[in-house]
Amino acid sequence: MNYLTKSQAQEKAERIAARAKELANHVESTLKAMFGAITQDSDPQGILDVFGPNAAKVLADYAAMQQAVASINPETSVLAPDPAMFAANPDGTVVYTAPPEPEIPEE
């Protein structure tokens, strides 16, 4: 049998942990870019329309990845798709509704 010494096992565990963190950081960065590409565009609906009947799946996949990132890093700033902003239709298309502008308090 091949037994690992504690130092070898520890070294491998540290490499695995580092790679898991790198992966989570990469996924988090990618998700932020995806979300921003839609919500910060001048025509978010136009982008969603290009996906056609696959738009709801794209958002569902994004939401699943966001949940995975949030379980690995509870302090993540990756936003989940807000159902008030993204309404899936039965045919798989999605309707985008811009969030309300923040109210500016009167002085």
Per-residue pLDDT reduced to its tens digit, 9-46: 899 999 999 998 898 889 999 999 999 999 888 999 99
The Cα–Cα gap between 32 and 84 comes to: 19
Please say whether the beta carbons of 47 and 41 come within 8 A: yes
The Cα–Cα gap between 82 and 63 comes to: 10
The Cα–Cα gap between 44 and 5 comes to: 55
E strands of the chain, at which residues? 86-88, 94-96
Per-residue pLDDT reduced to its tens digit, 54-107: 999 999 999 999 998 888 888 888 888 888 899 999 999 999 998 877 788 877
| pTM exceeds 0.85 for this model | no
- Largest Cα–Cα separation, the chain: 77
Please say whether the beta carbons of 27 and 68 come within 8 A: yes
